[in-house]
Each structure stands twice: as structure tokens, then as C-alpha cells.
A and B are shown apart, each in its own frame.
Chain A
Amino acid sequence: MTGAGRLEPPVGQGAEPFWEGTRDRQLLLPWCTACRRPFFYPRPFCPVCLGRDIEWRRASGDGSVYAFTVEHRTEGVPFAGGAPFVVGLVALDEGVRLMANIVGCPTGDVRVGMAVTVSWEALSDGRHLPLFTPQPGERAS
């Protein structure tokens, strides 16, 4: 899979620290200091209490596959890597969930519950896109 042809993400309101962190391959999460928990996706306020005291903390980068699909066709999808490829929802150990491609193993090896860790794909402007790859020790079925 290559990065060419990807739709490169815009930087949304309140997400500047997230994307700046990706320049150094750091996965940063916004934490609400009042609720003392992270939320995702980043926005300028906490989606639980609407508080605006947000602290950015580095995440472990580890998590597990919550759900996924193997896309067999790319009709209407800007994605030059070619099918099949895996789009998954990853539950980070910190307790939030985000979407990402699961890479670094055959598509047929991906399982719900598989332990994964973050990896990075360069974007054209120096930012990186977080992807996830099986943790060492995750054996193919």
C-alpha cells in the first residue's frame, strides 16, 4: 500500500496539536482536565462537559482492533494503494476509538481483538497519518 492518492486530512477546529504531533510521529490525545479522560476526535471542547481546558498527552500507541472490513473494491474511493485493504476501528488502551488502516500483515490475518500498535505514513506536508500494525507476538491464524 502506498500513500499516493490518499485524501489528505484537513486540520479541523481544535485538532492543530494532534496534527503537529504527527510531524514527530507522536500520537497525542486531547484530555479534558475536568473529566480527567481523553476524547476523540479532537475538538476545542470536551464532548462530555463542554469544558475548554484541554491537555494534550502522548498516547502509548497501543490498542486492539474493535471492528474492521476488508475493502475489495475502491470504486468512488480516493485510495491508490489498491484493493484489498483493511479499514478498521482501533480501541486505544487509553479508552478512545479511532479509524485507521490495519497494515503490515495479510488482510486475511486481521481479527477483532488483535493487538496493534501505531505506525506512520508520511503525508505531503510533513504531517503523518497514523496507521496500525499487529503487535509483535500477534500470530497469523
Chain B
Amino acid sequence: MTGDLRGRAAIVGVADAASPTGQLERTGRDLEAAMVAEALADAGLTLDDVDGVCHTTSSMGLAESLGIHPTFTDSTNTGGSSFEVHAEHAAAAIAGGLCEVVVSVYASTPRSDRRLGRPPRRPARGVDDPLVEWELPYGLRLPMAPYAMAATRHMAEFGTSPEQLAQIAVSTRAWAAMNPRARYREPITVDDVLASPFECEPLHRLDCCLVTDGAGAFVMTSAERARALAKPPVYVLGAASCHDHAMISQMPDLTTTPGVVSGRRAFAAAGLGPDDVDLLMGYDSFTITALLHLEDLGFCAKGEGGPFVADGRTGPGGALPMNTNGGGLSYTHPGMYGMFLIVEAVRQLRGECGERQVPDVDVAVAHGSGLVLSCMSTLVLGTGATL
């Protein structure tokens, strides 16, 4: 996204569903339709207004289910960052006149699927997938093991400690304590994280995201149309994506993600930098994931993520509020978490977050991470004051 797209499109409606039980009543298309209805109502729009759809599996199946006939369609799936990529594509499509109102929706219910005896929705892997030939024979546990490898490499290169990684989980839990819908709200300590069992060493259970049901949607339209709608528009100031590998053995440098590229390009488009950011929603599939974002987006230098987070800087009252909904670590994580980054960023920018509201948020970054640190996608979002 280049600078001339800055502020041309805005997110005008959001919805998400999560529960302290980790389970939701609705599933599948039923749950998607409920999210679309809620996000459209939030925007003050109706289904008749929608002429663009984004979905990670089938935008055509979604449109058929909703009974609409869109002129913009996007079935991009980059894993957890898919929804940031959808937002990037939607903003460009709206600015280019391909469509006017785009909906992206996500629903995933792994816990309810298990309860209902449905088979887990794991990605189907053919024998021609290099992962099957070169990684799975070694007992690689996905998705934890590749992230654990990134952690050992970061520790060896930069001296990052398990305590520093644990602090990310602790700070995130402190935010979750203020979210009534979060799966886990009880405060935890660094010692609690370190005392939880190893999943893939050096990552403990509390370094790892949840597995919950969850769903969400956002609605985007042109800046002109957005100003006539129900809520204050949240403008797309910059958006960019980059990927460099699909399996971890092909990642060029396990301590540096393609977020370096997506972040630099998104900030350049926005004409802003890390110092301008009031809120970071940084994909936290694991504590190491969030730490790498802090470095790669330029909030601190490469290798300094550990000391950067160690004083609780990303928690309530800290200088850089991060993952104020409680994140994938404590709020919800249905598999592809990026939708929830956008929803929380929009609500914070609108001032709708109640007890956990960060004061005076004008610029928020939603930074998605997909697959195994593979595809990073960065959205810089802002209030009307940033135009």
C-alpha cells in the first residue's frame, strides 16, 4: 500500500464472539452470519450494502450462504494474518473503485467441534507438500515446535531469558483480567509461567496460546461513505504484507520475521513510526511471537525485546499497551487469531473498551502473523485526528 491510499478507506463496523467457557453456541456458517449481522449493525449498514467479501476458505461459499452477489472477492489464506491481508486488499479495492462495502468474517469452533464429535479441521497435507518429506518425519509438533526453535535461537544469539518471555504472558493476563469475555482472567506471575509444564522446550504451557471457539467480522468502506455512518470511522493509514517461507526449516533467519518488511512499508505508507503508536495489537500465538514483533516493527532494536518487556512495559499502565483484549494467550485463540487484533484495535480507537480502555488512542497497529512466522501483515489504523 502506497501513501496515496492513506485514509481512503475506513473500518466502520466490527463484531467478535468469545466466551470464558471457551465455547460458543453457534458454529460454522450460522456463526458467520451472526457476526456479519452484528458488524453491519455496528456500522449502520445492511446486507444490501455489501458488494465485497473476504473469507479464508471460500468467499464464494460465504456469499452464497448470505445470498449476496459481490463484485469483489478474496479467499486469501495466509494463516493467522489472513484478516490483516484481507483488510489491506479491501482498502486497495475500495480506493480503486472495485467495490464500496467489504465484509471479512471468521468463525472457528475447535472446542465445540470436539464436543460434538466432529473431526478436527487440520490442514490436509498431500505427499507433494515438502513439509511431509522434510519435517514431519522428525516428529515436528505443529504449531509449537517451530516457535520453540525461534526461541532457542533468540536466547542463544541475544541472551533472552525464559523469565523475559514469561513476562509477556504475565502482562497480557493483566489485560485479560479487565475483559469479562476472556477465557482466563486470574493474574499470573513469571514463576507461574515457568512452573507450567513444557510443551516444546523452552516454551511452557503458559507461553502458548489458547485453543478456544471464536468468531469475528469487520466491515470496511470508503472514507467518504464512512463519515455518514453510525460510529466514528477508523481509517486505514497504512497496510503491507510480506512472507518468506512456508516451513520453518526454510526461514532465512529464525530471529527475524518478514514483519521487518511489512512493518516498514505500512509505517511508510502511514507517514508514521513506532513512536507514534498508542496501542500495539501484535499476534501472540506464543510469547516469542510477540517479542519478535516488538523488534521487527522497530519498537526496540533486534535482540532487545527481552529487556524491553521485562518491566511490564506492554501491560496495563506501561508505556506501550499491547494486546489489551488479553490476546491469544488469555482472551481467545480459535486458530487464526488475526481478526481479533483488528476488532480490539477498532474498539480502542473508538474508546469503547471500558475498564481496559487505553486513554487517548489515536494510532493503533494490528500486526498479524501466519503459519510458522511465515506471513506478516501490518495495519496502521487511526482516528479522524490522524488525517
Decide if A and B are genuine partners. yes
Tell me if A53 counts as interface (CB < 8 A to partner B): no
Interface majority SS on A: helix, strand, loop or mixed?
loop
Given contacts A7-B137, A89-B149, A99-B134, contact A13 B128 (CB under 8 A): yes
User: A87 and B254: CB pair below 8 A?
Assistant: no
Name B145's closest neighbour in chain A (CB-CB).
Answer: A69
Instruction: Decide: B138 and A69 in contact? CB cutoff 8 A.
Output: no
Interface residues of B in 131-153 (CB under 8 A from A): 132-141, 144-145, 148-153
B228 at the interface (CB under 8 A from A): no
CB distance from B181 to the nearest CB of A (A): 27
B65 on the A face (CB < 8 A)? no
The answer to whether the Cβ of B180 comes within 8 Å of any Cβ in the partner chain is no
Whether A113 is near chain B, meaning CB under 8 Å from some CB there, is yes
B386: chain A residues at CB < 8 Å are none
Complex interface residues of chain A between 30 and 55 (CB less than 8 A to chain B): 41
- Chain B residue nearest to A3 in the complex (CB): B137
Contact call B149/A69, Cβ cutoff below 8 A: yes
Inter-subunit contact A10/B132 (CB<8 Å): yes
Known A67-B152, A112-B153: A77·B198 in contact at CB below 8 Å: no
Which residues in window 94-115 of A have CB below 8 A to B?
Answer: 97-101, 111-113
Set B130, B132, B139: member contacting A71, Cβ < 8 A? B139
A74 and B137 in contact, given A67-B150, A112-B153 (Cβ under 8 angstroms): no
Q: Which of B142-186 contact A (CB under 8 A)?
A: 144-145, 148-153, 155-157
Contact of B139 among A8, A12, A81, A112 (CB under 8 A): A81
Known: A10-B127, A99-B140. A113 touches B133 (CB 8 A): no
Nearest-CB residue, chain B, relative to A12: B133
Is A4's beta carbon under 8 Å from chain B? Answer: no
Let me know if B336 is at the binding interface, CB within 8 A: no
> How many of chain A's residues touch chain B, expressed as a range?
35 or more
Judging by beta carbons under 8 Å apart, are A73 and B137 in contact? no
Contact in complex: B139, A85 (CB < 8 Å): yes
A122 part of interface (Cβ distance < 8 Å):
no
Taking the closest CB of chain A, its distance from the CB of B141, in whole angstroms, is 5
Q: How far apart are the CA atoms of A85 and B153 in the complex, in Å?
A: 18
B199 CB within 8 Å of chain A: yes
A56 in contact (CB, < 8 A): no
Known: A9-B132, A12-B130, A67-B254. A89 touches B200 (CB 8 A): no
Q: Which residues of A contact B249 (CB under 8 A)?
A: 41, 89, 97-99
Give, as a whole number of angstroms, the nearest-CB distance from B291 to chain A: 15
**Known A66-B153, A89-B248: A129·B137 in contact at CB below 8 Å:** yes
The answer to whether the Cβ of B201 comes within 8 Å of any Cβ in the partner chain is yes
Partner of B133, one of A6, A15, A66, A79: A15
- The distance in angstroms between the C-alpha atoms of A80 and B128, with both chains bound, is 24
Chain B window 341-373, contacts with chain A (Cβ cutoff 8 Å), 1 for yes, 0 for no? 000000000000000000000000000000000
Inter-chain CA distance A97–B134, complex, in Å, is: 11
The answer to whether B152 and A112 touch across the interface, beta carbons within 8 angstroms, is: yes
B197 within 8 A of A: yes
Given contacts A71-B141, A73-B141, A85-B139, contact A11 B200 (CB under 8 A): no
Does the CB pair B201–A101 fall under 8 Å?
A: no
Instruction: Give A110 Cβ to nearest chain B Cβ, in Å.
Output: 9
Contact A76-B141, Cβ < 8 Å, known A66-B254, A67-B254, A68-B152: yes
CB <8 Å contact, A41 and B134:
yes
Q: What CA separation (Å) do A111 and B157 show in the bound complex?
A: 12
Are A41 and B149 in contact, CB atoms less than 8 angstroms apart?
Answer: no
Cross-chain contact of A79 among B130, B139, B150, B153 (Cβ < 8 A): B139
Complex Cα distance A113/B156, Å?
Answer: 9
Partner of A69, one of B128, B135, B157, B201: B201
Interface string of B263-304 (1 = CB under 8 A from A): 000000000000000000000000000000000000000000
Q: A67 to B197, Cβ gap below 8 A?
A: no
Q: How far is the CA of A129 from the CA of B137 in the complex (A)?
A: 9
Chain A residues whose CB sits within 8 angstroms of the CB of B127 once the complex forms? 10, 12
In the complex with contacts A66-B153, A77-B139, A71-B254 CB distance below 8 A = no
A87 and B201 within 8 A (CB) = no
Contact partners of B136 in chain A: CB under 8 A: 7, 9, 78
Nearest 5 Cβ contacts at the A-B interface: A79-B139, A69-B148, A112-B156, A70-B201, A67-B153
Known: A66-B254, A77-B139, A78-B139. 20 other contacts (CB 8 A): A8-B137, A10-B132, A12-B128, A41-B130, A66-B153, A67-B150, A67-B153, A67-B254, A69-B149, A69-B202, A70-B201, A73-B199, A78-B136, A81-B139, A84-B201, A87-B145, A89-B254, A99-B140, A101-B138, A129-B137
Contacts A/B (CB < 8 Å), 11 sampled: A9-B136, A41-B134, A67-B156, A69-B200, A70-B198, A71-B145, A85-B139, A87-B138, A87-B140, A101-B138, A101-B139
